[in-house]
Amino acid sequence: MLRTAIARSGARAGRSFVPRSQWQQFRRTLADAPTPDRTVLPGSQSTTTAGVPQPPILGGHPPAPHQAAAAAPMPVPREPPAPSTNTGNLPPTGQGTAATGPSSALPPRKPRRRFRRFVLTMLILTTLGYTGGVWFSLQNDNFHDFFTEYVPYGEDMVAYFEEREFKKRFPVKDYEAKSWPQMRGENKVTIGRQSGVGPKVAETADAGKAQPAKAQQSPGSASPREKTQAVESAKQGKDASKSTGPAAPRKDTESSARKSASGSGSSSAVDHLGVAQASEPVVQNLVSMVNGVISAINASPEDASRYASTVQTMKDNVEKVIGEIGTMKQSAAHETEGALRNAHTEFDQAAKELVRRLEQEMRATESKWREEYESEREKLSTSYQNKLQAELEAAQKVADEKNKNALLEQEITLQKAYMKSVQDKVEEERNGRLSKIDALSESVQDLEKLTGDWNEVVDATLRTQHLQVAVEAVRAKVLESDYPTPFLNELVALKEVSKHDDIVNAAIASINPLAYQRGIPSPAHLIDRFRRVAAEVRKASLLPEDAGVASHAASAVLSRFMFQKKSERGLPEGEDVEATLARTEVLLEEGDLDAAAREMNGMKGWAGVLSRDWVGECRRVLEVRQAVDVIATEARLQSLLVD
């Protein structure tokens, strides 16, 4: 089937393919110079490509395009005749051979190409759909959920694109640049040996002279080079001071020697020990400064001679300055003495004032305390007075109450005595009459006993009457109804009436609950149902043991041809189904439900199965009837026992 279908579709494709080539051919012939004596059959050109021998070329009249189809009906040797399907606007001309023959060479290639195209299309569509899904899931959250859940590998794809987007937004390069270069093992910082703060010995007083000015700066602001320079210069200065310490006196002697050697040209240095106020450090400084200048001038003899007068004036000035320093010192000493004296007097006055104030304050506090003490004493005395008053009043009240209570007790005792005397009087009076009442009550009790006995008799008769009424009600409901009626209410009433009667209770208990809940069918109903059951049983009367479908069908058919046993001339004997059914029908019509149920109960196999419900119903009816009979008998017995 598949093959033929494919072949058919291929043929159709070939046919549709041919007219197009025909068209192209004709168009070309019309556009170019037409060859007048040659006609090409439609579809013949395609055969040349497929290697089929060419159909004969027909000479004659140049054909118009619409005559090409008219030329078709000509018999062509190798092509099988096929009905022409497309003949332009001409009427069909019977056997059209055009175009169907050569197409048989094409079909094997078609399906493969179609299949390939199908696969290609599906691939493209799938890719497009997948790409579109991924793109749209990046746009839409709902679609993202759907796509990642239901499309295989969709989650991975979407995750990949999201990761890319994330990377594009937050490039990883920044994080790497942020980590410390030490961690990457580059650019280790080396700290120079000279940098930082070095240890230094505390300077002595005369070393301070040689201290370079720059060393005093804060170490933070100085560059390392400056610091090292400072330290080195400090060391040099110390060395110098060491050397100058012992050499100072020698220097003076040297300079004086040089002065004498140089003659009048050179001026002598100032004697720093001989100056007035030699002990002052300021003076010593000044002198050494001047000596420095003088020694510098003495170094060259020309300068010494030239500046001799100047040096002399400078020396005089130094003397003058030293004198002024002395006067300044004296005046300062005077001033300080005056200031000291003033301060002493001020302190004395302040101390006196202080003592006076302290005494005043002490006096004031003493008077205040005395006043407070007085007021406190007043308060205490008044409070004690009040307390005393209150205690006195309370004692007075207690005494009053005690008096009142004593009076009340006396009154109560008096009243009790009065009551007792009255009661005694009343008792005496009562005892006299009570003896008569006893006799009266005895006679009343006798009467009560008598009425009680009579009441019991009346109750028993009432109970039996109720029982009989209830039994009658049940009987009416059960046996005289045309259709099954539930008699639950009647049964409940019966049970209420005979609560303590064991026989009635047992009889009620013997009834099947289904019977009083549903009701029991009437005899007519039972007979009607028996007829239906009999028809069914008859159908299954011929079944063997363990019967299948075939036996059932055969039994149903064949039992229709059996004669039914009639019971007009006595009951039929035998154990077969027909005889049993005939006997049961007779017994039912006679009203002997018990015997009928017995007959039917004896059936076996499918007949027994089919009649099971009917037998059960019969049994229920018999049970109810028996129970009602028993209860009725009991009721009669009760009514007899009463009298």
Partner 1 sequence: MADSTSASTPAMPPPVRANRPMSEALLNEKWDHCLSTLLIRSTLGASFGVIFSVLLFKRRAWPVWTGLGFGAGRAWEECDSSFKRASFPSRDGLRVMRP
DSSP state of 361: H
Cβ pair 517, 486 in contact under 8 A: yes
- The minimum distance between CB 495 and partner 1, in angstroms, equals 15
**Structure-token pair, residue 441:** 């009550």
Nearer to partner 1, 1 or 440 (CB): 1
- The minimum distance between CB 483 and partner 1, in angstroms, equals 5
- The minimum distance between CB 536 and partner 1, in angstroms, equals 4
User: Could you give the residue ranges of the DSSP H alpha helices within 32-180?
Assistant: 44-50, 67-71, 109-139, 141-150, 154-169, 173-178
Nearer to partner 1, 133 or 519 (CB): 519
**Structure-token pair, residue 281:** 């450090």
**Max alpha carbon distance in the chain (Å)?**
207
How many Å separate Cα 219 from the centre of its chain? 65
Q: How many CB atoms lie within 10 A of CB 508?
A: 19
**Torsion sign across C-alpha atoms 508, 510, 516, 522:** negative
- The minimum distance between CB 584 and partner 1, in angstroms, equals 14
- The minimum distance between CB 578 and partner 1, in angstroms, equals 17
Nearer to partner 1, 147 or 614 (CB): 614
Nearer to partner 1, 180 or 483 (CB): 483
Nearer to partner 1, 102 or 521 (CB): 521
Q: Which residue has the tokens 């899931």?
A: 137
Q: How many CB atoms lie within 10 A of CB 322?
A: 19
> How many residues appear in the chain?
643
- The minimum distance between CB 616 and partner 1, in angstroms, equals 8
- The minimum distance between CB 131 and partner 1, in angstroms, equals 38
* CA distance linking residue 574 with residue 594, whole number of Å: 20
Nearer to partner 1, 343 or 609 (CB): 609
* CA distance linking residue 326 with residue 283, whole number of Å: 10
Burial 98-113 (b: 16+ CB within 10 A, else e): bbbbbbbebbeeeeee
* CA distance linking residue 601 with residue 611, whole number of Å: 8
Cα(first)–Cα(last) distance of the chain, in Å?
Answer: 106
* CA distance linking residue 524 with residue 537, whole number of Å: 20
- The minimum distance between CB 541 and partner 1, in angstroms, equals 12
Cβ pair 237, 207 in contact under 8 A: yes
- The minimum distance between CB 597 and partner 1, in angstroms, equals 14
Structural element, H or E, at residue 95 = strand 95-96
Nearer to partner 1, 77 or 548 (CB): 548
- The minimum distance between CB 480 and partner 1, in angstroms, equals 15
CA-to-CA separations, 337 to 123, 173, 333, 340, in angstroms, rounded:
120, 82, 6, 5
Cβ pair 627, 470 in contact under 8 A: no
CA count, 13 A, side-chain hemisphere, 320: 6
Which candidate, 210, 250, 216, places its Cα nearest to that of 233? 210
- The minimum distance between CB 101 and partner 1, in angstroms, equals 26
DSSP state of 39: B
* CA distance linking residue 641 with residue 643, whole number of Å: 6
* CA distance linking residue 623 with residue 27, whole number of Å: 110
Q: Write out the residues near partner 1 by the rule CB under 8 A.
A: 1, 483-486, 488-489, 513-514, 517-519, 532-533, 536-537, 539-540, 546-549, 552, 605-606, 609-614
- The minimum distance between CB 498 and partner 1, in angstroms, equals 22
- The minimum distance between CB 555 and partner 1, in angstroms, equals 10
Nearer to partner 1, 64 or 609 (CB): 609
